[in-house]
Copies of this chain bind each other. A is one copy, B any other.
Amino acid sequence: MVELQTPHLDAVFHALSDPTRRAMLHRLTIGEHSVSDLATPFRMSLAGASKHIKVLESAGLVRRRIEGRTHLCQLEAARLAEAQQWLSTYEKFWSARLDDLEAILREEDASIAGKPATPPLSNKVGE
Binding site for B on A (CB under 8 A): 1-3, 9-11, 13-14, 16-19, 22-23, 25-26, 29, 75-78, 80-81, 83-84, 86-88, 90-91, 93-94, 97-98
Contact = CB atoms under 8 A, between A and B. Distances in A.
Identical copies in the complex = 2
A80 B75 contact: no
Nearest to A2: B26
For A13, A75, A81, A97, the residue with the greatest tally of chain B CB atoms inside 10 Å of its CB is: A13
B10 A19 contact: yes
A80 to B, nearest CB: 5
Given A3-B19, A17-B10, A87 B84 contact: yes
A97 B77 contact: yes
Contacts of A80: 87, 90, 93-94
Given A13-B13, A13-B16, A26-B2, A84 B93 contact: no
